[in-house]
Structure 1
Amino acid sequence: MTVLINEKAASISLTGITRSYGAVRAVDGLDLEIASGELISLLGPSGCGKTTALRIIAGLEQTDSGTVVVGGKDITRTPANKRDMSMVFQSYSLFPHLSAADNVAFGLRLRGVKPAVRRRRAIELLELVSLDHHADRYPSELSGGQQQRVALARALAVEPKVLLLDEPLSALDAKVRIQLRDEIRTLQRRLGITTVFVTHDQEEALSMSDRIAVMSNGRLEQCGSPAEIYSRPATPFVAEFIGSMNHVPGIADGATVTVSGSRLPLSVPGSGAVTVLIRPEAVRLTDDPNGNTTITTISFRGPVTRVIGRLDDGTPITADLPSVQAASFAEGGRVHVTYAEEPVLTKAAD
């Protein structure tokens, strides 16, 4: 296989980006630095501003204020067709009357590349996404996953500085989605191209990204590596949006909080009645007929088993345990709940 390394990958700097639609502030003072060759995911619920931010980078939307700098050059008012970027959408947007190879070569044809050269490059790109043997097939003859691979190859054919992916996997079934996300990540690393990936799927973001930018209501809540976002969320919103979370009543007292009889360190000091946010994997269970919890449900999930119980005060509690350990518990059994001694976040009491 011929590997076509992109040597034009560029950094991206967003400073004070705002964009409103009437009274709705879609992006509200966004500051974000993206390194050359990095894959960063913009993650958040619908309406958080992630797609608007991506379209601003692409030049498909104009900012009300703020600047977009790519490779050290201010392109805030540069038209989209002059930004040297490629975009892959949720819909494959392939030309139905063109073969896979001709779809990939389309951008090269617009640039006046000679037929023989663009055909050769199209085959090389299709080889890169393992579709060179389907070069002469039409979109209607390809599966959804194959069509999205063709769209990705087409985006890469023109050797852009930046690759923009707008929820490109959401229309695919689960198995194909997992396979293709791994392929995209492998390909991105091989090419070293700066990539901005928009998704509402936390699993996609956690598995693919160098860093994740979590957005809410047009604002950046936190930006960090997947491990940082998951293990050290900066805000209750991030903690609750990424992964599962228990909500357990507690009493905060300065740098610690008392919850279910355990005393835990606080990420942010507080006082008074609070709701403590605790990951299921941080919950510890011990067989104890005089314990503080009754097990209600046990759900085997392969190497991990989810044990759901109810504290004596009525609070539901979920623990994710190694299945070997969970085998000793039974529904209806009494256990004592404690928690890993790790810093926790709180929010206002429910």
Structure 2
Amino acid sequence: MTSAATAAVLDAERAAGSGAALELRGLRRTFGATTALDGLDLTVEPGELVALLGPSGCGKTTALRVLAGFERPDSGAVLVDGEDITRVPAHRRDTGMVFQSYSLFPNLDARGNVAFGLRMRKVASAERRARAEELLALVGLPDHGTHYPHQLSGGQQQRVALARALAVRPRLLLLDEPLSALDAKVRLTLREEIRRLQLELGITTVFVTHDQEEALSMADRVAVMRGGRLEQCAAPAELYARPATAFVAEFVGAMNRIPGHVGGSGEVEVLGTRLPVEGPHTDAGEVDVLIRPEGLEVAADDGGTARVVGTTFLGATTRLSIRLADGTAVKADMATHAAAELPSGTLVTVAPHARPVLVDRRAAT
């Protein structure tokens, strides 16, 4: 397909009315004594890609299955463009879904797999074939229409699955860890392709993943879940720089817990420095101060009370493992050329950057 033809297909897709508004209201779902969703609220804007991120058992896959119609919530509602579809069967929800396991039909070639949903909707044969070929070209497989799943690589199978999900021009695209079974290089390439297509088509997308890098690099906003509830939903940069809770701070990216003390002024003293507290102030007393590795300054000091105990090369940066005087282990990131001057065994001083920090009540020992 020529670039002009591809552009025409994209124009037709956009004109088909993608970009629905989605709202999850107070979703609750239990399985026996296990609560998978505990009053989940989430709004997704038209054309937005929101990633659901969280540890195993947090409810993210259950939320996607409720959204797709494969699970029915005990209470709450799913609204698309203001319409309550909570009780609408899955096959009537106008959604496209891509699964982790591809789920292609082994007895159908790539063209047949892409056209399957259209066949179920009684679309004429010639139109099905034309649309399947358009979609295969759109996902970079214009010459693979007659290939069967066993003749395709994992990445190619996932592209066919994506084309199949898009073939029916769904209002919502749902992605259930679609890249987790692929190797790192293919995963990187395919996530870029999915994001490109999603932006070009303007289709509202909900993406479940356990991979932080995937979520932060692809999503407009990342919804971090815990125990069936939403901890925070924000743009990736905001989520990383201004986590709303200690859980989010430690789940997204690397984080140090450093002993500190909150005084009567509401400031926290940590590593000999007073800093303002981010978010709601905690009561005066002993706390853990949450500081990212790049939020620490490290300098060689023959009289220092901290010691470098290891280094990890990360390319442009190197991560130093440091043991503080009280035995606390912390990690600090610095430019590799500067870290070369601080090999293991070097005595150092460690100080936090002068910016607000999140604190958490210290766990009882």
Same fold judged by TM-score > 0.5? yes
Q: 1:323-342, aligned counterparts within 5 Å? A: 323-342=336-355
CA contact (8 A) 2:231 2:248 kept: yes
CA contact (8 A) 2:18 2:202 kept: no
Q: Could you tell me how far apart the structure 2 residues matched to 1:57 and 1:301 are?
A: 39
Corresponding residue of 1:315: 328
CA contact (8 A) 2:18 2:47 kept: no
Corresponding residue of 1:112: 122
Q: 1:2-81, aligned counterparts within 5 Å? A: 2-3=9-10, 4-5=13-14, 6-81=16-91
1:260 matched to 2:271: yes
152-161 vs 271-280, which moves further: 271-280
How many angstroms does 1:289 deviate by? 0.9
SS across alignment from 1:41: strand
How many angstroms does 1:292 deviate by? 2.8
SS across alignment from 1:215: strand
SS across alignment from 2:267: strand
CA contact (8 A) 1:16 1:30 kept: yes
Corresponding residue of 2:310: 297
Q: Match of 1:57, as an amino acid?
A: L
Q: Could you tell me how far apart the structure 2 residues matched to 1:339 and 1:158 are?
A: 53
SS across alignment from 1:168: coil
Q: Could you tell me how far apart the structure 2 residues matched to 1:150 and 1:318 are?
A: 43
Q: 1:232-243, aligned counterparts within 5 Å? A: 232-243=242-253
1:345 matched to 2:354: no
Structure 1: gaps (5+ residues):
none
Superimposed CA distance per residue, residues 269-296 of structure 1 (whole angstroms, 9 cap, x where no aligned partner): 1220111111001011112111231111
Q: Could you tell me how far apart the structure 2 residues matched to 1:255 and 1:129 are?
A: 54
Corresponding residue of 1:216: 226
Q: Could you tell me how far apart the structure 2 residues matched to 1:154 and 1:229 are?
A: 33
Q: 1:164-243, aligned counterparts within 5 Å? A: 164-243=174-253
What's the C-alpha RMSD, in Å, of the aligned pairs? 1.1
* Count of aligned pairs between the two proteins: 350
Q: Percent identity?
A: 58
Structure 2: gaps (5+ residues):
1-5
Q: Could you tell me how far apart the structure 1 residues matched to 2:40 and 2:301 are?
A: 51
CA contact (8 A) 1:292 1:337 kept: no
Superimposed CA distance per residue, residues 296-322 of structure 1 (whole angstroms, 9 cap, x where no aligned partner): 112221111111110111111101112
SS across alignment from 2:160: helix
Higher strand residue share? 1
If the length of structure 2 is used for normalisation, what is the TM-score? Answer: 0.94
Corresponding residue of 1:269: 281
How many angstroms does 1:8 deviate by? 3.2
Runs of 4+ in 1 over 6 A off after TM superposition: none
